[in-house]
Structure 1
């Protein structure tokens, strides 16, 4: 069924990173919008971001909150593109002046996944031998897994999903941690060995959803993007992003979340941990989903009272405000 919104014939340009996952996500958005707006021509503009180019340095040490977004944002501000498709977890909570989060798509499974080397097919995260080397580039995953499994060893891993899987299969790692959503979108769901429980690893803010960024006040583009908006996913994302923003956390800090909506009530669980996993604070709030951002701020305040600020200050001193 096409949208009832009347838009004059024109070309809309979509900005995206060049990675395989980014392109899969962007072309999905393009195809969905073409169903709603057959009279509009949607074109994809591929760009390389800083995070795509620097592959020999851990993400947390590069020190830039717009690692995977800045070049796309310049394109929108320069009017060479009209909007950009992001994995929402990569989109900073504070956007440049003149830009806004225009749409959150329906969220898919936000969990983390364990992917193992063939020799560990009979193991789960809980039964991997002591000293097994786990690959992850996420401080959030690292801190939580260190907390629960101090007997395991952890090693940074960079590159796109295919590159990481190749390193795993070559024996450089015993297992790696990736997002369930990314593997499923790449039709690699068969590589998911174990869905990691939220009791062990709370997911990243926005994980599993796409965030579409556009120019603030661009009513025509906002009308178009409304066709892909999922209300519950948006409410959950706004709560999570408000929580992260209030803690002044960038994408590369050990902050995890989980949200659920039931009968218009939103439950938000949040976690802050030290890099070594020795300190891990977790709490939750519940309230009306229409006050999602207020709930995020409230939960951040509860964790600050428990010492989250001190934990994050130490991390910022060690790795910078990435």
Structure 2
């Protein structure tokens, strides 16, 4: 495909795919924008408005579709064109009523008197169906990119920030690009990268029988809570439902809802369980402690005492959202209605 606009290239790809299944098709530009016009067997016209993306998964599809609630041309049908659409992503788009073209070689096109669901010639180089997040470095790099999605991050800058070798970072960038999760300027594909990361976000956790009191009490020093200069030190970070509520997410919860914390390392994790005790049952737990999958969870905490009634340092909204995303029902419903205020960017 050429180096013109992504919309133009996607439209040309749809035309080629439509012609491959025996339909007459062409691109058409007018005041409403660029469309693909397909001539149906009865001679009527079907207008398609193309939406190019890099990757579609079942998790990313709802968020991607919400970005285009209204089509420019009245009566036009939407068609998503992607370098890769996973099998469950295809199902999600089909159930939502979207047409789609997977550039690896499959077209679905539905309209009055028309149903095409067929293999077509591939228009991208075939490759392994991989997530693009390879190993711990891949997860760390994904987090770094999603924390500042508007920035272009260079290989050496990322290597320095993550204390990794430039070669390891370069390899991770290459894998992310191959999966369509970063663009040519090394900016993350949002929300696709978030949902791929969420699928691999599986921190070690333990339910606790009791919780420490918030604040810099001397007894809390053994647990490394980190209440001194919260935003420039490392320590415990409140996450999940209670933190989401502090950020203004549409969360309904009781005042005594159990709290979920990230801790920075294995020794703190073990010490917390030893000192605070393990909950006998899930219903009796006072809270939960989680081992941070990446150091940035506990290195980049947020002091909310100036704008929320919350004494505990908060995890960045990215990590709170990753926790919520683990619940395919209630958690994702909360994410659908939550856009963090202030300096944070929504990436889900």
Q: Provide TM-score, normalisation by structure 2.
A: 0.27
Higher relative contact order (CA 8 A, sep 6+): 1
Q: TM-score, normalised by structure 1?
A: 0.28
**Structure with greater proportional helix content:** 1
Higher Cα Rg, which structure? 2
